[in-house]
Structure formats: structure tokens, C-alpha cells
Amino acid sequence: MSVIRLKGQADRRLRAGHQWIYSNEVDTSATPLKQFTPGDQVVVETAQGKALGVATINPNTLICGRLISRSTDTVLNKSTLVHRLKIALSLRDMTYAAPYYRLVFGDSDGLSGLVVDRFADILVVQISTAGMERVKNEIIEALQDVVKPTAILMKNDGKMRQIEGLDTYVEEAFGTVPELVYLQENDVLFQAPVWDGQKTGWFYDHRENRKTMQNYCDGKRVLDVFSYVGGWGVQAASAGATDVTFIDASESALSHVDANLKLNQYEGDANLMHGDAFEAMQSLIEDKERFDVVVMDPPAFIARRKDIKAGEGAYHRANQLAMRLVAKGGILVTGSCSMHLETARLHDIVRSNSRQLERFSQLIYRGTQAPDHPVHPAIEETEYLKALFYRIHNNMGL
């Protein structure tokens, strides 16, 4: 294999456990990046010429290298994929009784650029790097060997592919994948639109947080903002909520909410509000509506570091509107999937809103991503999900 050589001290982060190589860390005078083709596998060397392992390379991106192995004897091929898929599967098997989970979570499973969600015997695969795209056929074969699915959908339409210079497409790689697949989460049934839905069609990462939310829903009125297909609200309904309101900008998503309520034979009241979430919440406030549980789980308002200021403003406004809709003594669940928004900052946003609205808030639960989204201890980017639960009172003179 060809070699890329790092600048002096640029190996320190890799030695500490990280797996990414930035283009400004490569000694391009010794090993010009332009000589490589996206997806090539290379030996990574320190400035002194000592081998650190093997990485896939993309000379056109800021993260130009992704470490595959710390041994030069291991490359990214079917054998390596099978081995790591078996390790990933063993974690999920020891954690979940039913085959509904994220099977592969990129770097955290030693497979940077690969995500696989499992819906029983159907797999939805997302490839986001040139290195993984190069071994796409091997990935499909390895999944067939390890999981033995009846069908595999390649949902390769994410934004990261554009950064990597890859085409976007959604296609069956094996078998026949229906428009809707079924799953079970916390003993609740759902249908997920894997072809046309967001990401893989479902978000398994909030599983444990939704389970905790169910404890507060029996006999209550619940509001699910940015509901998508009803992951939070339908589980609230199944936990005994008497009245659930869903807000989403997608009519298609709300049609799936309705189907998922019927799938679980919900007999309470359901209100599906189509439109901008901020405008819908303002309308509910003007109508003097109040809810015992309000769930605020928006899309990532902070996609990149340069979006932090504007994104924090959006989180502040969204949480302020949500807090105004919480009934006295009710629960506010606020979530964020923005890696660049730290948990402490989200907590501070809620604190600030509490003071502005003269509410007394009590943090009662801190949640993070489910075990099928494991955190790599050296890669902070793999720890992205937050869910904070607050009990909200009118000002008690404090």
C-alpha cells in the first residue's frame, strides 16, 4: 500500500485513541494528498516513519483519513467487515430481546462511515465516506453472512456524501424492501417509512429516554413537537395518555403518526397539527392550551460550529414556547441531537427561560443515546444526544 506521513506531533491524537486524520496534519511535501484517489487504503506513518496502522483516504475533504486498524496487516475487506459486524451484533444481542436496533454506529463500532439499522430481517444501510463506498459490495456480502436478512436497502442520500464527492441514491441491494417496515420499541409498535423518511426512516437513539417519559404519561395531556412519525407521542399514548397533540411540518409524517396510533389501538384523543412548529406552539399558547407533558425534540439546529450562535437562539426560542405550554407541575422534555450543543449549555438555556418566564424548574432526569449508539471514549463526536426532563412550576417566589 501507499503511505501518508504525518507532521510532527500530529500522531498524538491517534495514539490517544482517535481515528480521524485531518488534511492539515499530513506532511504533503513528503506524501502529497493529490496522488491518492478517494477511497484508497494507505499506511499511516509518524513524522519519524513509524507505522501507525491503515486508513482509508479522501484527499478532497477536511477529514482526509479514517483509521481502519492499528496494524498494517489488517485492511478493510470482507473478512474485517464480518469480524466487526459479529462484534457489533453481539453487543446488540446482549442488550435487546428483539431485533430492532442500530446494528452499526460508525466509528463506535470500528466502521467509520457506516450506519446500519435493523428492522427484524430488513436492514437499512447508510454509507457516508468514500472508503466505505469502495467496499460497498463487501459490506452487503458481510451483512448477508452475519445477519442473514431477507432484504437490504441502501439509503445513501445523506449530506455527508456530497462532502465526500459521492453520488446520492436509494436502492435495494438485496431482496425486496417494502415502503414501510415495522418495528417495536418499548413494547410499542410502529411503521417506519424507510424509503422516503428521514435518515433510515426511524430514530432508535432516544429509546431509553422515551421509556422514561412513559412514566409521566398515564392519564395526562401530552404535546409532541417536531413529532416526525410519533416516536414520542405514540409511546405516550400507549402509556395511558388521554390526549396527545402532534406537531410536524410534514403531512406525510403526520399520516404515519395516525397509522401508528391505530396500530396500537389508541382510543384517546389525538390532534395532528400540520405546520411550522414555532407558529403552531404560538397558536396553542394564544388558545390558552396547557399540557401535562411537553416533548421538544427538534432536528439539529446546529449542524456545524459556525451555526452555534444562530442554533442556540433557535433552541432558546423553541424551549421558551414549549415551557409556556407546560401546565403547572407538568414535565418538559427537551432534547438535542446537535453534537455542538453541550448538555450544560442546553441546561443553561432552560434555566434562562425559567427566569424570563418566572417559572421554577427542577431537573429530574438526564438522558443520552441508547446502548445501540455506543460512545467511543476518544471521539467526542460520537456522543451527541441529550434529553433533559424538568418539572415546571409557576414561580414559587424563588
Query: What are the tens digits of pLDDT across the range 290-331?
Result: 999 999 999 999 988 899 999 999 999 999 999 999 999 999
Note the pTM of the prediction, 2 decimals.
Answer: 0.95
Give the strands of the sheet with 386-394, arranged side by side: 269-274, 243-248, 221-225, 291-296, 326-336, 386-394, 359-367
Percent of the chain at pLDDT above 70? 99
User: Is pLDDT above 80 for 395?
Assistant: no
Distance CA 173, CA 157 (A): 15
Q: Could you tell me the CA-to-CA distances from 264 to 143, 188, 224, 257 in Å, in that order? A: 31, 7, 17, 11
Query: For residues 129 and 55, is the Cβ–Cβ distance under 8 A?
Result: no
Give me the mean pLDDT over the 210-229 stretch: 98
Distance CA 75, CA 87 (A): 17
Looking at 193-280, which runs of residues are DSSP E strands?
221-225, 243-248, 269-274
Per DSSP bridges, beta strands 269-274 and 40-45 are unpaired
Give me the mean pLDDT over the 52-70 stretch: 97
Tell me the backbone φ, ψ of residue 40, rounded to 5 degrees.
-60, 150
User: Is pLDDT above 70 for 25?
Assistant: yes
Helix (H) / strand (E) containing 278: helix 277-286
pLDDT at position 396, please? Answer: 72
Q: What is the DSSP letter of 37?
A: P
User: Is pLDDT above 90 for 29?
Assistant: yes
Give me the mean pLDDT over the 80-92 stretch: 98
pLDDT at position 27, please? Answer: 97
Q: Which amino acid is at 269?
A: D
User: Is pLDDT above 70 for 397?
Assistant: no
Give me the mean pLDDT over the 149-159 stretch: 96
Q: Which of 398, 382, 296 is nearest to 112 (CA)?
A: 382
pLDDT at position 314, please? Answer: 95
Q: What angle do the packed helices 343-356 and 308-324 form, to 10 degrees? A: 50
Give me the mean pLDDT over the 370-389 stretch: 97
Distance CA 93, CA 96 (A): 6
Give me the mean pLDDT over the 13-31 stretch: 96
pLDDT at position 305, please? Answer: 86
Query: For residues 114 and 127, is the Cβ–Cβ distance under 8 A?
Result: yes
- Who contacts 238 (Cβ-Cβ below 8 Å, separation ≥6)? 187, 188, 214, 264, 266
